[in-house]
Structure 1
Protein backbone atom coordinates (compact mmCIF):
# COMPACT_ATOMS: atom_id res chain seq x y z
CA UNK A 1 0.00 0.00 0.00
CA UNK A 2 1.38 3.42 -0.98
CA UNK A 3 2.20 5.66 1.97
CA UNK A 4 0.10 8.87 1.98
CA UNK A 5 2.23 11.91 1.08
CA UNK A 6 1.24 13.68 4.30
CA UNK A 7 2.68 10.80 6.36
CA UNK A 8 6.01 10.62 4.55
CA UNK A 9 9.29 11.98 5.97
CA UNK A 10 10.16 15.39 4.53
CA UNK A 11 13.54 16.79 3.51
CA UNK A 12 14.26 20.36 2.48
CA UNK A 13 15.28 20.59 -1.18
CA UNK A 14 17.89 23.21 -2.00
CA UNK A 15 20.49 23.81 -4.68
CA UNK A 16 23.52 25.82 -5.69
CA UNK A 17 21.86 28.77 -7.42
CA UNK A 18 24.86 29.74 -9.50
CA UNK A 19 24.85 26.32 -11.16
CA UNK A 20 21.67 27.55 -12.87
CA UNK A 21 22.50 31.14 -13.86
CA UNK A 22 24.46 34.15 -12.62
CA UNK A 23 21.21 36.07 -12.08
CA UNK A 24 19.63 35.21 -8.71
CA UNK A 25 16.15 35.91 -10.11
CA UNK A 26 16.65 33.04 -12.57
CA UNK A 27 18.23 30.91 -9.85
CA UNK A 28 15.15 31.21 -7.64
CA UNK A 29 12.71 30.69 -10.52
CA UNK A 30 14.30 27.39 -11.57
CA UNK A 31 14.63 26.11 -8.01
CA UNK A 32 11.00 26.88 -7.29
CA UNK A 33 9.94 25.16 -10.51
CA UNK A 34 11.65 22.06 -9.10
CA UNK A 35 9.78 22.44 -5.82
CA UNK A 36 12.75 23.78 -3.83
CA UNK A 37 12.03 26.47 -1.27
CA UNK A 38 15.67 26.94 -0.27
CA UNK A 39 18.84 28.00 -2.07
CA UNK A 40 22.54 27.53 -1.39
CA UNK A 41 24.42 30.74 -2.15
CA UNK A 42 27.88 30.45 -3.72
CA UNK A 43 27.76 33.50 -6.00
CA UNK A 44 25.32 36.02 -7.42
CA UNK A 45 25.73 38.28 -10.46
CA UNK A 46 29.05 36.51 -11.03
CA UNK A 47 30.44 37.63 -7.66
CA UNK A 48 31.55 35.07 -5.07
CA UNK A 49 29.56 35.21 -1.86
CA UNK A 50 32.58 36.28 0.23
CA UNK A 51 33.02 39.29 -2.09
CA UNK A 52 29.42 40.53 -2.09
CA UNK A 53 29.12 43.95 -0.47
CA UNK A 54 26.47 44.98 2.04
CA UNK A 55 24.20 46.46 -0.63
CA UNK A 56 24.35 43.30 -2.73
CA UNK A 57 23.62 41.12 0.29
CA UNK A 58 20.67 43.33 1.20
CA UNK A 59 19.37 43.01 -2.35
CA UNK A 60 19.65 39.24 -2.22
CA UNK A 61 17.83 39.17 1.09
CA UNK A 62 14.98 41.27 -0.32
CA UNK A 63 14.69 39.01 -3.37
CA UNK A 64 14.62 35.82 -1.33
CA UNK A 65 12.15 37.31 1.13
CA UNK A 66 9.83 38.48 -1.64
CA UNK A 67 9.92 35.07 -3.34
CA UNK A 68 9.63 33.04 -0.14
CA UNK A 69 13.04 31.42 -0.65
CA UNK A 70 15.14 30.57 2.41
CA UNK A 71 18.91 30.07 2.42
CA UNK A 72 20.14 26.60 3.33
CA UNK A 73 23.84 27.49 3.45
CA UNK A 74 26.58 29.84 2.35
CA UNK A 75 28.73 27.83 -0.09
CA UNK A 76 31.99 29.56 0.72
CA UNK A 77 35.44 28.82 -0.74
CA UNK A 78 37.01 28.90 2.73
CA UNK A 79 39.81 26.32 2.98
CA UNK A 80 39.97 25.76 -0.76
CA UNK A 81 43.50 27.18 -0.78
CA UNK A 82 47.00 25.73 -0.20
CA UNK A 83 47.70 24.86 3.42
CA UNK A 84 50.69 27.20 3.49
CA UNK A 85 48.41 30.25 3.25
CA UNK A 86 48.53 32.17 6.56
CA UNK A 87 45.72 31.36 9.01
CA UNK A 88 44.55 34.98 8.97
CA UNK A 89 43.93 34.81 5.20
CA UNK A 90 41.03 32.42 5.66
CA UNK A 91 39.82 33.99 8.89
CA UNK A 92 39.31 37.26 7.02
CA UNK A 93 37.31 35.46 4.34
CA UNK A 94 35.34 33.51 6.94
CA UNK A 95 34.33 36.77 8.61
CA UNK A 96 32.89 37.89 5.27
CA UNK A 97 31.11 34.56 4.84
CA UNK A 98 29.67 34.94 8.34
CA UNK A 99 28.45 38.42 7.48
CA UNK A 100 26.71 36.93 4.45
CA UNK A 101 25.18 34.16 6.58
CA UNK A 102 23.82 36.66 9.09
CA UNK A 103 22.47 38.90 6.31
CA UNK A 104 20.74 36.02 4.51
CA UNK A 105 19.37 34.21 7.55
CA UNK A 106 21.35 30.97 7.72
CA UNK A 107 23.74 29.49 10.27
CA UNK A 108 25.40 27.07 7.81
CA UNK A 109 28.65 27.79 5.97
CA UNK A 110 30.34 25.21 3.75
CA UNK A 111 34.15 25.03 4.04
CA UNK A 112 37.10 22.85 2.95
CA UNK A 113 40.28 21.60 4.64
CA UNK A 114 43.12 22.95 2.49
CA UNK A 115 45.04 21.60 -0.48
CA UNK A 116 48.25 19.81 0.39
CA UNK A 117 49.75 20.60 -3.06
CA UNK A 118 51.94 17.64 -3.86
CA UNK A 119 53.02 16.97 -0.28
CA UNK A 120 52.02 13.90 1.70
CA UNK A 121 48.71 14.55 3.40
CA UNK A 122 50.09 13.31 6.71
CA UNK A 123 52.86 15.92 6.58
CA UNK A 124 50.37 18.81 6.62
CA UNK A 125 48.02 17.37 9.26
CA UNK A 126 49.14 19.62 12.10
CA UNK A 127 48.97 22.74 9.93
CA UNK A 128 45.48 21.78 8.78
CA UNK A 129 44.25 21.17 12.31
CA UNK A 130 45.59 24.53 13.53
CA UNK A 131 43.70 26.28 10.74
CA UNK A 132 40.50 24.31 11.18
CA UNK A 133 40.54 24.92 14.93
CA UNK A 134 40.89 28.66 14.33
CA UNK A 135 37.97 28.61 11.90
CA UNK A 136 35.86 26.59 14.35
CA UNK A 137 36.67 29.00 17.20
CA UNK A 138 35.39 31.93 15.14
CA UNK A 139 32.30 29.99 14.12
CA UNK A 140 31.53 29.10 17.73
CA UNK A 141 31.66 32.76 18.74
CA UNK A 142 29.31 33.71 15.89
CA UNK A 143 26.76 30.90 16.29
CA UNK A 144 27.70 29.36 12.94
CA UNK A 145 27.95 25.72 11.86
CA UNK A 146 30.83 24.99 9.49
CA UNK A 147 29.98 22.17 7.07
CA UNK A 148 33.14 20.51 5.82
CA UNK A 149 32.83 19.21 2.27
CA UNK A 150 34.98 16.26 1.24
CA UNK A 151 36.80 17.43 -1.89
CA UNK A 152 39.54 15.78 -3.93
CA UNK A 153 43.13 16.77 -3.00
CA UNK A 154 42.29 18.55 0.26
CA UNK A 155 43.25 17.02 3.61
CA UNK A 156 39.71 15.81 4.25
CA UNK A 157 39.16 14.05 0.94
CA UNK A 158 38.85 10.42 2.06
CA UNK A 159 36.80 9.06 4.99
CA UNK A 160 39.73 8.29 7.31
CA UNK A 161 41.06 11.85 7.16
CA UNK A 162 37.59 13.39 7.33
CA UNK A 163 37.04 11.44 10.54
CA UNK A 164 40.44 12.50 11.89
CA UNK A 165 39.61 16.11 11.09
CA UNK A 166 36.21 16.31 12.74
CA UNK A 167 37.23 14.28 15.81
CA UNK A 168 40.57 16.05 16.33
CA UNK A 169 39.08 19.55 16.08
CA UNK A 170 36.28 18.38 18.33
CA UNK A 171 33.99 21.37 17.88
CA UNK A 172 30.20 21.34 17.82
CA UNK A 173 30.55 24.05 15.15
CA UNK A 174 32.36 21.72 12.75
CA UNK A 175 30.10 19.20 11.05
CA UNK A 176 30.04 17.43 7.68
CA UNK A 177 28.43 18.05 4.31
CA UNK A 178 28.34 14.67 2.55
CA UNK A 179 29.16 14.55 -1.16
CA UNK A 180 28.97 11.09 -2.77
CA UNK A 181 30.47 12.16 -6.11
CA UNK A 182 33.58 13.68 -4.56
CA UNK A 183 34.29 10.43 -2.75
CA UNK A 184 33.96 8.48 -6.01
CA UNK A 185 36.49 10.82 -7.59
CA UNK A 186 38.92 9.92 -4.80
CA UNK A 187 38.57 6.19 -5.49
CA UNK A 188 36.24 5.66 -2.54
CA UNK A 189 32.99 3.70 -2.40
CA UNK A 190 31.11 6.34 -0.41
CA UNK A 191 28.59 4.30 1.53
CA UNK A 192 30.63 1.11 1.79
CA UNK A 193 33.88 2.77 2.84
CA UNK A 194 32.74 5.81 4.78
CA UNK A 195 29.16 6.03 5.91
CA UNK A 196 29.23 4.05 9.16
CA UNK A 197 32.12 6.00 10.67
CA UNK A 198 31.08 9.44 9.45
CA UNK A 199 27.28 9.30 9.77
CA UNK A 200 27.22 10.71 13.34
CA UNK A 201 28.78 13.94 12.05
CA UNK A 202 26.76 14.44 8.86
CA UNK A 203 24.38 17.41 8.97
CA UNK A 204 23.92 18.21 5.29
CA UNK A 205 23.61 16.38 1.97
CA UNK A 206 25.08 17.68 -1.29
CA UNK A 207 23.52 15.85 -4.21
CA UNK A 208 25.61 14.71 -7.13
CA UNK A 209 26.89 11.41 -8.48
CA UNK A 210 29.94 10.27 -10.48
CA UNK A 211 31.32 7.37 -12.46
CA UNK A 212 34.33 5.59 -11.02
CA UNK A 213 35.74 4.77 -14.47
CA UNK A 214 36.46 8.36 -15.52
CA UNK A 215 35.29 10.56 -12.58
CA UNK A 216 32.65 12.21 -14.76
CA UNK A 217 29.69 13.68 -12.90
CA UNK A 218 26.23 12.32 -13.70
CA UNK A 219 22.69 12.83 -12.35
CA UNK A 220 21.85 11.32 -8.99
CA UNK A 221 21.51 7.55 -9.07
CA UNK A 222 23.25 7.15 -12.43
CA UNK A 223 26.79 6.76 -11.10
CA UNK A 224 28.84 4.76 -8.63
CA UNK A 225 28.16 6.98 -5.62
CA UNK A 226 25.95 4.46 -3.81
CA UNK A 227 23.52 7.32 -3.45
CA UNK A 228 20.37 5.26 -2.94
CA UNK A 229 22.05 3.36 -0.08
CA UNK A 230 23.10 6.66 1.48
CA UNK A 231 19.61 8.13 1.19
CA UNK A 232 18.10 5.01 2.72
CA UNK A 233 20.51 5.21 5.65
CA UNK A 234 19.67 8.89 6.16
CA UNK A 235 15.98 8.02 6.14
CA UNK A 236 16.50 5.20 8.64
CA UNK A 237 18.41 7.60 10.90
CA UNK A 238 15.52 10.07 10.89
CA UNK A 239 17.21 12.73 8.77
CA UNK A 240 15.07 15.82 8.15
CA UNK A 241 17.60 18.34 6.87
CA UNK A 242 18.66 19.77 3.53
CA UNK A 243 19.40 18.02 0.27
CA UNK A 244 21.26 20.49 -1.92
CA UNK A 245 21.59 19.90 -5.66
CA UNK A 246 25.10 20.53 -7.01
CA UNK A 247 24.91 18.76 -10.38
CA UNK A 248 28.15 19.91 -12.14
CA UNK A 249 26.71 18.56 -15.40
CA UNK A 250 28.18 20.92 -18.02
CA UNK A 251 31.30 22.50 -16.52
CA UNK A 252 33.62 22.17 -13.53
CA UNK A 253 36.14 24.77 -12.31
CA UNK A 254 38.42 25.09 -9.30
CA UNK A 255 35.71 27.00 -7.43
CA UNK A 256 32.68 24.97 -8.45
CA UNK A 257 30.63 23.87 -11.40
CA UNK A 258 27.82 24.83 -13.76
CA UNK A 259 24.83 23.05 -15.21
CA UNK A 260 22.42 25.61 -16.68
CA UNK A 261 18.64 25.54 -16.19
CA UNK A 262 17.89 22.49 -18.37
CA UNK A 263 20.60 20.21 -16.96
CA UNK A 264 19.89 21.43 -13.44
CA UNK A 265 16.26 20.48 -13.93
CA UNK A 266 17.28 17.04 -15.17
CA UNK A 267 19.42 16.58 -12.06
CA UNK A 268 16.56 17.64 -9.80
CA UNK A 269 14.14 15.21 -11.39
CA UNK A 270 16.66 12.37 -11.13
CA UNK A 271 17.08 13.02 -7.43
CA UNK A 272 13.33 13.18 -6.86
CA UNK A 273 13.03 9.77 -8.51
CA UNK A 274 15.33 8.36 -5.81
CA UNK A 275 13.53 10.05 -2.91
CA UNK A 276 10.17 8.90 -4.24
CA UNK A 277 11.56 5.38 -4.34
CA UNK A 278 12.34 5.44 -0.61
CA UNK A 279 9.23 7.37 0.38
CA UNK A 280 10.69 10.80 1.17
CA UNK A 281 8.90 14.03 0.28
CA UNK A 282 11.03 16.94 -0.94
CA UNK A 283 9.85 20.48 -0.35
Structure 2
Protein backbone atom coordinates (compact mmCIF):
# COMPACT_ATOMS: atom_id res chain seq x y z
CA UNK A 1 0.00 0.00 0.00
CA UNK A 2 1.48 3.42 -0.91
CA UNK A 3 2.34 5.70 1.98
CA UNK A 4 -0.46 8.11 2.78
CA UNK A 5 0.67 11.69 2.00
CA UNK A 6 0.28 13.38 5.36
CA UNK A 7 1.84 13.43 8.83
CA UNK A 8 0.47 11.64 11.87
CA UNK A 9 1.41 13.37 15.11
CA UNK A 10 0.22 13.64 18.68
CA UNK A 11 -0.09 16.19 21.46
CA UNK A 12 2.56 14.66 23.64
CA UNK A 13 1.21 15.38 27.09
CA UNK A 14 -1.90 13.32 26.32
CA UNK A 15 0.41 10.29 26.57
CA UNK A 16 2.06 11.34 29.83
CA UNK A 17 3.40 14.34 31.70
CA UNK A 18 7.05 13.32 31.34
CA UNK A 19 8.65 13.95 27.97
CA UNK A 20 10.17 10.47 28.04
CA UNK A 21 6.65 8.99 28.19
CA UNK A 22 5.46 11.25 25.39
CA UNK A 23 8.33 10.23 23.13
CA UNK A 24 7.99 6.55 23.99
CA UNK A 25 4.31 6.53 22.98
CA UNK A 26 5.10 8.16 19.63
CA UNK A 27 7.91 5.66 19.09
CA UNK A 28 5.53 2.76 19.77
CA UNK A 29 3.25 4.11 17.04
CA UNK A 30 6.25 4.66 14.75
CA UNK A 31 5.24 8.32 14.39
CA UNK A 32 7.91 10.95 13.85
CA UNK A 33 6.02 14.15 14.70
CA UNK A 34 4.88 15.76 17.94
CA UNK A 35 2.74 18.70 19.06
CA UNK A 36 3.98 20.34 22.27
CA UNK A 37 1.75 21.76 25.00
CA UNK A 38 3.34 20.94 28.35
CA UNK A 39 6.23 18.96 29.81
CA UNK A 40 6.24 17.68 33.36
CA UNK A 41 2.88 19.36 33.89
CA UNK A 42 4.33 22.79 33.03
CA UNK A 43 3.15 24.78 30.01
CA UNK A 44 5.83 25.16 27.35
CA UNK A 45 5.98 28.94 27.81
CA UNK A 46 6.58 28.53 31.57
CA UNK A 47 9.55 26.17 31.34
CA UNK A 48 12.82 27.75 32.42
CA UNK A 49 15.44 28.16 29.73
CA UNK A 50 17.54 25.20 30.82
CA UNK A 51 14.56 22.83 30.87
CA UNK A 52 13.35 24.06 27.50
CA UNK A 53 16.82 23.54 26.02
CA UNK A 54 16.62 19.94 27.16
CA UNK A 55 13.20 19.56 25.55
CA UNK A 56 14.48 21.00 22.28
CA UNK A 57 17.40 18.57 22.30
CA UNK A 58 15.11 15.61 23.06
CA UNK A 59 12.73 16.34 20.16
CA UNK A 60 15.43 17.29 17.67
CA UNK A 61 14.80 14.11 15.66
CA UNK A 62 11.08 14.78 15.37
CA UNK A 63 8.98 17.27 13.43
CA UNK A 64 7.25 19.69 15.82
CA UNK A 65 4.02 20.33 13.94
CA UNK A 66 2.48 22.86 16.34
CA UNK A 67 2.95 24.53 19.72
CA UNK A 68 -0.18 25.00 21.84
CA UNK A 69 -0.46 28.29 23.71
CA UNK A 70 -2.97 29.37 26.32
CA UNK A 71 -3.69 32.58 24.42
CA UNK A 72 -7.44 33.23 24.36
CA UNK A 73 -8.28 29.84 25.87
CA UNK A 74 -10.85 28.88 28.51
CA UNK A 75 -8.65 30.27 31.31
CA UNK A 76 -8.30 33.78 29.84
CA UNK A 77 -11.34 35.93 29.15
CA UNK A 78 -11.49 38.85 26.77
CA UNK A 79 -11.20 41.31 29.67
CA UNK A 80 -8.16 39.70 31.32
CA UNK A 81 -4.83 41.54 30.89
CA UNK A 82 -3.72 41.33 27.27
CA UNK A 83 -0.15 41.69 28.46
CA UNK A 84 -0.23 38.08 29.66
CA UNK A 85 -0.96 36.90 26.12
CA UNK A 86 1.66 39.14 24.56
CA UNK A 87 4.28 37.90 27.01
CA UNK A 88 3.39 34.26 26.28
CA UNK A 89 3.46 34.94 22.56
CA UNK A 90 6.95 36.46 22.77
CA UNK A 91 8.32 33.42 24.65
CA UNK A 92 6.66 30.90 22.34
CA UNK A 93 7.69 32.75 19.17
CA UNK A 94 11.31 32.35 20.22
CA UNK A 95 10.74 28.73 21.14
CA UNK A 96 8.99 27.98 17.85
CA UNK A 97 12.07 29.28 16.07
CA UNK A 98 14.30 26.99 18.12
CA UNK A 99 12.03 24.02 17.43
CA UNK A 100 11.67 24.75 13.72
CA UNK A 101 7.90 25.01 14.22
CA UNK A 102 5.71 27.29 12.13
CA UNK A 103 2.33 26.97 13.88
CA UNK A 104 1.10 28.40 17.20
CA UNK A 105 -2.38 27.46 18.47
CA UNK A 106 -4.65 30.15 19.94
CA UNK A 107 -8.36 30.52 20.76
CA UNK A 108 -10.67 33.55 20.70
CA UNK A 109 -11.36 34.51 24.32
CA UNK A 110 -14.41 33.55 26.38
CA UNK A 111 -16.70 36.45 27.23
CA UNK A 112 -16.79 38.21 30.60
CA UNK A 113 -20.16 39.91 30.58
CA UNK A 114 -19.68 42.13 27.54
CA UNK A 115 -22.28 42.76 24.87
CA UNK A 116 -21.99 40.76 21.69
CA UNK A 117 -20.52 43.56 19.57
CA UNK A 118 -18.02 44.66 22.22
CA UNK A 119 -16.90 41.06 22.73
CA UNK A 120 -16.39 40.60 18.99
CA UNK A 121 -14.49 43.87 18.57
CA UNK A 122 -12.12 43.17 21.46
CA UNK A 123 -11.38 39.69 20.13
CA UNK A 124 -10.65 41.03 16.64
CA UNK A 125 -8.37 43.75 17.98
CA UNK A 126 -6.38 41.33 20.13
CA UNK A 127 -5.99 38.77 17.37
CA UNK A 128 -5.02 41.52 14.92
CA UNK A 129 -2.21 42.62 17.23
CA UNK A 130 -1.06 39.04 17.73
CA UNK A 131 -1.17 38.33 14.01
CA UNK A 132 0.99 41.37 13.34
CA UNK A 133 3.58 40.02 15.75
CA UNK A 134 3.29 36.58 14.19
CA UNK A 135 3.95 38.01 10.72
CA UNK A 136 7.13 39.65 11.97
CA UNK A 137 8.20 36.43 13.71
CA UNK A 138 7.55 34.27 10.66
CA UNK A 139 4.94 32.05 12.33
CA UNK A 140 1.23 31.41 11.78
CA UNK A 141 -1.45 31.61 14.47
CA UNK A 142 -3.98 28.79 14.27
CA UNK A 143 -7.41 29.56 15.71
CA UNK A 144 -9.06 26.44 17.14
CA UNK A 145 -12.80 25.70 17.13
CA UNK A 146 -12.95 25.57 20.92
CA UNK A 147 -13.35 28.28 23.57
CA UNK A 148 -14.07 31.86 22.65
CA UNK A 149 -16.10 34.15 20.44
CA UNK A 150 -15.37 32.29 17.20
CA UNK A 151 -15.16 28.85 18.75
CA UNK A 152 -18.32 27.25 17.43
CA UNK A 153 -19.86 29.45 14.72
CA UNK A 154 -18.64 29.32 11.13
CA UNK A 155 -19.84 32.85 10.38
CA UNK A 156 -17.79 34.18 13.30
CA UNK A 157 -14.74 32.21 12.19
CA UNK A 158 -14.97 33.72 8.72
CA UNK A 159 -15.61 37.19 10.18
CA UNK A 160 -12.47 36.86 12.31
CA UNK A 161 -10.36 35.83 9.33
CA UNK A 162 -11.76 38.65 7.19
CA UNK A 163 -11.42 41.31 9.89
CA UNK A 164 -7.84 40.42 10.80
CA UNK A 165 -6.89 39.84 7.15
CA UNK A 166 -3.44 38.47 7.86
CA UNK A 167 -1.44 35.67 6.24
CA UNK A 168 -0.35 34.85 9.77
CA UNK A 169 -3.84 33.68 10.81
CA UNK A 170 -5.35 30.35 9.75
CA UNK A 171 -7.53 27.65 11.30
CA UNK A 172 -7.00 24.57 13.42
CA UNK A 173 -9.95 22.19 13.13
CA UNK A 174 -10.63 19.74 15.97
CA UNK A 175 -12.89 16.87 14.97
CA UNK A 176 -14.30 16.25 18.46
CA UNK A 177 -14.82 19.69 19.97
CA UNK A 178 -18.34 19.95 18.60
CA UNK A 179 -19.56 17.16 20.89
CA UNK A 180 -18.33 18.85 24.05
CA UNK A 181 -19.35 22.36 22.97
CA UNK A 182 -22.74 21.50 21.50
CA UNK A 183 -22.51 21.99 17.75
CA UNK A 184 -22.07 19.73 14.67
CA UNK A 185 -18.40 20.09 13.85
CA UNK A 186 -18.78 18.60 10.37
CA UNK A 187 -21.24 21.35 9.45
CA UNK A 188 -18.78 23.99 10.65
CA UNK A 189 -15.97 22.32 8.72
CA UNK A 190 -17.94 22.45 5.47
CA UNK A 191 -18.01 26.25 5.75
CA UNK A 192 -14.36 26.81 6.71
CA UNK A 193 -12.45 23.88 5.17
CA UNK A 194 -10.54 26.07 2.72
CA UNK A 195 -8.85 27.84 5.65
CA UNK A 196 -7.80 24.78 7.69
CA UNK A 197 -4.03 24.46 8.12
CA UNK A 198 -3.86 21.93 10.97
CA UNK A 199 -6.11 19.23 12.46
CA UNK A 200 -6.65 17.75 15.92
CA UNK A 201 -8.31 14.34 16.12
CA UNK A 202 -10.53 13.22 18.96
CA UNK A 203 -13.94 11.55 19.22
CA UNK A 204 -16.67 11.52 21.85
CA UNK A 205 -20.26 10.73 22.76
CA UNK A 206 -22.77 12.57 24.91
CA UNK A 207 -22.23 16.30 25.10
CA UNK A 208 -21.60 19.09 27.58
CA UNK A 209 -20.93 17.79 31.08
CA UNK A 210 -21.89 14.30 29.89
CA UNK A 211 -19.16 14.12 27.24
CA UNK A 212 -17.30 10.82 27.17
CA UNK A 213 -14.23 10.58 24.96
CA UNK A 214 -13.69 7.49 22.81
CA UNK A 215 -11.23 6.02 20.37
CA UNK A 216 -11.31 7.84 17.02
CA UNK A 217 -14.15 6.37 15.00
CA UNK A 218 -16.04 4.97 18.00
CA UNK A 219 -17.93 8.13 18.94
CA UNK A 220 -20.45 10.51 17.40
CA UNK A 221 -18.09 13.16 16.03
CA UNK A 222 -18.11 11.71 12.51
CA UNK A 223 -14.32 11.69 12.47
CA UNK A 224 -14.05 9.68 9.26
CA UNK A 225 -16.46 12.05 7.50
CA UNK A 226 -14.47 15.07 8.71
CA UNK A 227 -11.19 13.57 7.53
CA UNK A 228 -12.74 12.56 4.21
CA UNK A 229 -13.98 16.11 3.64
CA UNK A 230 -10.55 17.50 4.45
CA UNK A 231 -8.81 15.06 2.12
CA UNK A 232 -11.31 15.75 -0.66
CA UNK A 233 -10.44 19.46 -0.39
CA UNK A 234 -6.74 18.74 -0.68
CA UNK A 235 -5.70 18.80 2.96
CA UNK A 236 -2.36 17.05 3.36
CA UNK A 237 -1.10 18.60 6.58
CA UNK A 238 -0.70 16.95 9.96
CA UNK A 239 -3.34 14.99 11.86
CA UNK A 240 -2.47 15.52 15.51
CA UNK A 241 -3.99 13.08 17.99
CA UNK A 242 -5.58 14.64 21.10
CA UNK A 243 -7.72 11.77 22.40
CA UNK A 244 -8.59 13.14 25.88
CA UNK A 245 -8.77 9.53 27.09
CA UNK A 246 -6.35 10.03 29.97
CA UNK A 247 -6.52 13.78 30.58
CA UNK A 248 -8.83 16.67 29.74
CA UNK A 249 -6.79 19.83 30.32
CA UNK A 250 -9.68 22.26 30.84
CA UNK A 251 -11.16 19.98 33.51
CA UNK A 252 -7.97 20.03 35.59
CA UNK A 253 -6.44 17.04 37.31
CA UNK A 254 -3.46 14.97 36.32
CA UNK A 255 -2.79 12.38 33.68
CA UNK A 256 -4.06 8.84 34.21
CA UNK A 257 -1.45 6.19 34.91
CA UNK A 258 -2.32 4.26 31.77
CA UNK A 259 -2.19 7.37 29.59
CA UNK A 260 0.46 5.96 27.24
CA UNK A 261 -1.51 2.78 26.60
CA UNK A 262 -4.70 4.75 25.90
CA UNK A 263 -2.82 7.14 23.62
CA UNK A 264 -1.30 4.29 21.65
CA UNK A 265 -4.70 2.60 21.29
CA UNK A 266 -6.17 5.87 19.98
CA UNK A 267 -3.22 6.26 17.63
CA UNK A 268 -3.75 2.82 16.18
CA UNK A 269 -7.42 3.61 15.67
CA UNK A 270 -6.44 6.79 13.82
CA UNK A 271 -3.95 4.84 11.70
CA UNK A 272 -6.78 2.51 10.73
CA UNK A 273 -9.17 5.33 9.85
CA UNK A 274 -6.64 7.06 7.63
CA UNK A 275 -5.56 3.86 5.90
CA UNK A 276 -9.20 3.01 5.20
CA UNK A 277 -9.95 6.45 3.75
CA UNK A 278 -6.99 6.40 1.40
CA UNK A 279 -7.68 2.81 0.41
CA UNK A 280 -11.22 3.90 -0.47
CA UNK A 281 -9.92 6.76 -2.59
CA UNK A 282 -7.65 4.43 -4.52
CA UNK A 283 -10.52 2.03 -5.05
TM (norm. structure 1) is 0.89
What's the CA shift string for 1:217-261, capped at 9, x where partnerless? 222111221211111122222222111011111332328784610
**Counterpart position of 1:195:** 189
- Aligned residues: CA RMSD: 1.9
| Structure 2 residue corresponding to 1:211, chosen from 200, 205, 230 | 205
Kept after mapping to 2: 8 A contact 1:211/1:224: yes
Distance 1:172 1:54 in 2: 30
**Counterpart position of 1:86:** 81
**Counterpart position of 1:251:** 247
Distance 2:167 2:92 in 1: 19
Q: Which runs of 4+ in 1 moved over 6 A?
A: none
| Structure 2 residue corresponding to 1:130, chosen from 120, 125, 128 | 125
- Please say if 1:141 is aligned against 2:133: no
| Structure 2 residue corresponding to 1:73, chosen from 57, 66, 69 | 66
**Counterpart position of 1:180:** 175
Q: CA deviation at 1:57?
A: 2.0
**Counterpart position of 1:221:** 217
- Please say if 1:155 is aligned against 2:152: no
Kept after mapping to 2: 8 A contact 1:166/1:174: yes
TM (norm. structure 2) is 0.89
Q: Which consecutive unaligned segments of at least 5 residues does structure 1 have?
A: none
Paired residues, number: 271
**Counterpart position of 2:234:** 238
Q: Which consecutive unaligned segments of at least 5 residues does structure 2 have?
A: none
